[in-house]
Amino acid sequence: MLSVRRCSRTGCTEPAVATLTYVYADSTAVVGPLATQAEPHSYDLCTAHAQSLTAPRGWEVVRFEGEFTPPQHATEELTALADAVREAGRGDRPVEVVARNGGGNGRRGHLRALPAPSEDSRNS
């Protein structure tokens, strides 16, 4: 199941429907539809917090004029995700986990799952 992003406001557990971004150069707070991905310099807001947001004195709030609605995930996306999880959980296909160091640039590595090599590729 895909996770639902929650409102960034402390103590709020409502689902996010809007994204708040500050444009410091213009002293503007922009509240628009929920971004497709969470970004480090933006804030997800529920309907109540998106509609009631106020900005500091001297700042302007630019707010989306339509209705904020929760994102709808396409049936195809959910089916593809379920298929991928099912495939990864199959016991007849061993999976090898490989760690990579991010190219030696000081970044932390990440893990990714690779299918186990077939007999043909091991002998070549």
Could you report the per-residue pLDDT of 57-104, keeping only the tens digit for each? Answer: 999 999 988 787 776 655 555 566 666 667 666 666 555 544 444 444
Question: Are 65 and 91 found together in one domain?
Answer: no
- Domain count within the chain: 2
Task: Please give the model's pTM, rounded to 2 decimal places.
Answer: 0.55
78 in a domain, yes or no? no
Look at residue 38 in the predicted model and tell me its pLDDT. Answer: 83
Question: Are 67 and 118 found together in one domain?
Answer: no
Question: Are 68 and 29 found together in one domain?
Answer: yes
Residues 6+ apart with CB under 8 A from 36: none
79 in a domain, yes or no? no
Question: Are 68 and 94 found together in one domain?
Answer: no
Question: Are 96 and 49 found together in one domain?
Answer: no
Mean pLDDT score, 16-25: 93
Distance CA 54, CA 100 (A): 45
Domain limits for position 7: 1-72
